[in-house]
A = this chain, B = another copy of it.
Amino acid sequence: MRPKSVVKEEAIVNIALQIISEEGLENLSMQKLAQAANISPRTIYLKYENKEDLLIKLFIDEVLGAYEKAILTGFDEGMEFAEGIKKLWQNGFQYMKNNRYAFSLMQYGKTSPLLNKAYAERNIQQGQFFAPIHRFLKMQVKNGIVKSLPFEVQRALLFAPFYDLMNEYFEHLDRPKQIITDKVLRDTCEAVISGLLKQS
């Protein structure tokens, strides 16, 4: 039996992410992808059932899965509050810097109904990625460190500014000067932390 080419499988994934990042999700077509990856359209359909299947697997496996794993590396629910959040931000920044294309598709997860649905379903099925962070925050509230707010609100306060900064970071990559430096990121993280602390 002829063995499958790993090179081609990786090309599909990487070039798809690149097209999405550079031209937008709406401009990724199966034909364009095949041509750019120098393969036949049919080859994509050996690995993926259809376009929807491809997009969802890219989003869930290649992007979200890898990101969630990266962000939780070295993070421990027992950490002190500020220490834990800083670790998450550091990990996130490190990962994103090296995975610009993944970041682009991740952003589509909030707008595209298809990806949004896939994301919600996955979080229901397999006890979600945010579980350790959820428990971490719950403990901080219990210990009187952090303001008692719904988890969704805490998550918004802690991470929404981070994604905004990453967006800014990538936009400034193409410009003469980068404003999102490690120091700026640390300062922003501090601001986010102090906003959630109980004693203001």
A194 in contact with B192 given A112-B26, A161-B161 (CB within 8 Å): no
Could you tell me how many residues of chain A have their Cβ less than 8 Å away from some Cβ of chain B? Answer: 42
The contact string, 1 if C-beta is below 8 Å from chain B, for chain A 81-119, is: 000000000000000000000001001101111100000
State which of A72-80, A134-142, A163-171 sits at the interface with chain B.
Answer: A163-171
State which of A5-13, A36-44, A61-69, A146-154 sits at the interface with chain B.
Answer: A146-154
- Interface check A49, CB cutoff 8 A: no
- Interface check A182, CB cutoff 8 A: no
- In angstroms, Cα B116 to Cα A25, docked, is 13
Q: Which has the most chain B C-beta neighbours within 10 Å: A22, A155, A157?
A: A157
Q: Which residues of B contact A156 (CB under 8 A)?
A: 160-161, 164-165, 168, 188
Q: How many copies does the complex hold?
A: 2
A200 in contact with B194 given A24-B114, A26-B25 (CB within 8 Å): yes
Closest 7 CB pairs of A and B: A195-B195, A156-B164, A160-B160, A160-B164, A156-B161, A24-B113, A191-B195
- In angstroms, Cα B153 to Cα A135, docked, is 28
- The closest CB in chain B to the CB of A187 belongs to B149
A163 in contact with B160 given A153-B188, A194-B194 (CB within 8 Å): yes
A179 touches B165 (CB 8 A): no
Q: Which residues of B contact A112 (CB under 8 A)?
A: 24, 26, 111
A150 touches B184 (CB 8 A): yes
Besides A107-B111, A152-B179, A197-B200, 16 new A-B residue pairs in contact (Cβ under 8 A), listed by A number: A24-B112, A26-B26, A26-B112, A107-B110, A111-B112, A147-B191, A149-B187, A152-B180, A153-B180, A153-B188, A156-B164, A156-B188, A161-B161, A194-B195, A195-B196, A200-B200
- The closest CB in chain B to the CB of A106 belongs to B111
A-B contact pairs, 23 of them (CB 8 A): A23-B113, A24-B111, A25-B26, A25-B111, A107-B110, A107-B111, A111-B111, A147-B191, A149-B188, A152-B168, A152-B180, A153-B161, A153-B168, A153-B188, A155-B164, A156-B188, A157-B188, A160-B161, A161-B161, A191-B195, A191-B196, A194-B194, A195-B196
